[in-house]
Amino acid sequence: MEIKDQNEMNFDLNAENIKAQMRKGVLEYCILSILRKGDSYVSPLIAELKEAKMIVVEGTLYPLLARQKNQGLLSYRWEESPAGPPRKYYSLTEKGHKALEVMDEAWGDVIKTVDFIKNGTTALSKEI
């Protein structure tokens, strides 16, 4: 087993932590965005998030869904599945749609800001 330098290890942890933190914030935005395209149950939701490399373990999703439901952004209904247990079909509520609009705006601002800081030129400068 290779023993890593203490500093390197710390950095590794931090990088993981930062990634995880960023992912979590964005994840909620992503869930709502996927549901905007249409009601869905967990499997396709997971498939899409995995494909986009948004989540690593599926378990992450459930607490988020539960919280968003409790916040009134989502609602769900039970529907039969051809095989297996009945599925919870999630859909955006009115409140969810509004929250998503706000998030869209915020996300756009963040992109512009980060772009501006990194490159110095972009949409933001054009606006100014």
Q: Which secondary structure element, helix H or strand E, spans residue 24, and what is its range? A: helix 6-36
Query: Which parts of 10-49 interact with other proteins (CB under 8 A)?
Result: 20, 24, 42-43
Q: Applying CB under 8 A, which of residues 33, 60, 75, 93 lies at the interface with other proteins?
A: 60
* Contact window for other proteins (CB under 8 A) among 4-12, 66-74, 108-116, 119-127: 66-74
Q: Does 63 bind other proteins (CB under 8 A)?
A: yes
Q: Is 6 exposed, middle or buried (0-12, 13-18, 19+ CB in 10 A)?
A: exposed
For residue 92, give the nearest of 82, 106, 103, 105 by alpha carbon: 103
Q: Applying CB under 8 A, which of residues 18, 19, 25, 58 lies at the interface with other proteins?
A: 58
For residue 42, give the nearest of 82, 76, 72 by alpha carbon: 76
C-alpha dihedral (104, 105, 111, 115), degrees to nearest 10: 160
In whole angstroms, the minimum distance from the beta carbon of 60 to other proteins comes to 5
In whole angstroms, the minimum distance from the beta carbon of 78 to other proteins comes to 5
For residue 70, give the nearest of 55, 90, 52, 47 by alpha carbon: 90
The residue ranges that bind other proteins (CB under 8 A) are 20, 24, 42-43, 56-60, 62-63, 65-67, 69-70, 78-80, 83-88
